[in-house]
Amino acid sequence: MEVRDLTTIDDFRVVVAMEREVWGFEPGEDAVPVALLAVTVKRGGILIGAFDGDRMVGFVYSLAAMREAAPTQWSHMLAVVESHRGGGTGRLLKLEQRQRALDRGLDLIEWTFDPLQAVNAHLNFRKLGIVVEEYEENIYGETSSRLHGRMPTDRMVAQWWIRRPHVERRIGTTGPLVRTSEIAEAPVVNPTRELGRWRVCDHFDLSHTERRLFVEVPLGFTEMIADDAARAGAWRLATREIFQHYFNRGYRAVDFFLNAPAGRGAYLLALKD
């Protein structure tokens, strides 16, 4: 797999075509256009493509940004075509993006992701080492993407502190990470169960005060939207209330555990020191 910076108008046109392929945006809707890619790359943005031979199979795109008066990067898009997913292309692109940011003297890259997309959460926490303490409700409004299914675009805000030892450990780890007994014994805020094709959450508890908590989410949320929109909507509203409540009480998300055979994942929340 070859990676390189994307800097030409032809590069940008391929990126726009891939945006529409991956997200299913309608023509003229939601995709970042060529002109905006050109301007933001010229003034501090990072746009990197991954190539299998002559074919671009993925890209990562971030804009120059500020957080509390410090320069950062805001990573707006990470895309990999379906034929190359699950093979590490997304992680490779993020690591290349990190290196570009390090070369510019930056400490932080931020982005949003859907908290109900468990595979993305696994990449972000376990393989990259992000933390999350912000939950944004319907941040992009209703989009034309077939992946979003007219669902509210609630998102977590990932903070990737690219110089910190925790991040160095995560990106350097190749084997599975082991839960400590303290983490393994953390209570589950919203125990789930199987019901037909999808997992359901019958109730959740907002009264926990333990230092560490688990919040469960289902696998296959995109497919759930298409198959059972009502259940997907119930998951959106329940997890919105849970995350907003505990973040407001001083918790943040620090890890994610994926249990593919059981069809679920779990965020680890921890009280901030």
Nearest CA among 242, 260, 11 for reference residue 115 = 242
Q: pLDDT tens for residues 168-201?
A: 999 997 666 666 767 889 999 999 999 988 999 9
Q: What is the mean pLDDT of the chain?
A: 93
pLDDT at residue 83 is higher than 70: yes
The residue among 148 and 152 whose pLDDT is bigger is 152
Percent of the chain with pLDDT over 70: 95
Q: pLDDT tens for residues 207-232?
A: 999 999 999 999 999 999 999 999 99
Look at residue 212 in the predicted model and tell me its pLDDT.
97
Look at residue 177 in the predicted model and tell me its pLDDT.
65
Q: pLDDT tens for residues 252-261?
A: 999 999 999 9
Which contacts qualify for 189-196: CB closer than 8 Å, 24 or more apart? 189/213, 189/214, 189/215, 189/216, 189/242, 189/246, 189/269, 190/215, 190/216, 190/238, 190/239, 190/242, 191/216, 192/216, 192/218, 192/264, 194/263
Whole-number Cα distances in Å, 60 to 111, 173, 240: 11, 22, 27
Please give the domain boundaries of the chain with CATH numbers for all domains. Answer: 2-172 (3.40.630.30), 186-271 (no CATH)
Confidence of residue 124 (pLDDT cuts 50, 70, 90): very high
Look at residue 182 in the predicted model and tell me its pLDDT.
75
Look at residue 29 in the predicted model and tell me its pLDDT.
75
Confidence of residue 148 (pLDDT cuts 50, 70, 90): low
Look at residue 173 in the predicted model and tell me its pLDDT.
78
Please report which residue ranges of 63-203 form alpha helices under DSSP H.
89-103, 118-122, 165-172, 181-184
Q: Are the C-beta atoms of 193 and 202 separated by less than 8 Å?
A: yes
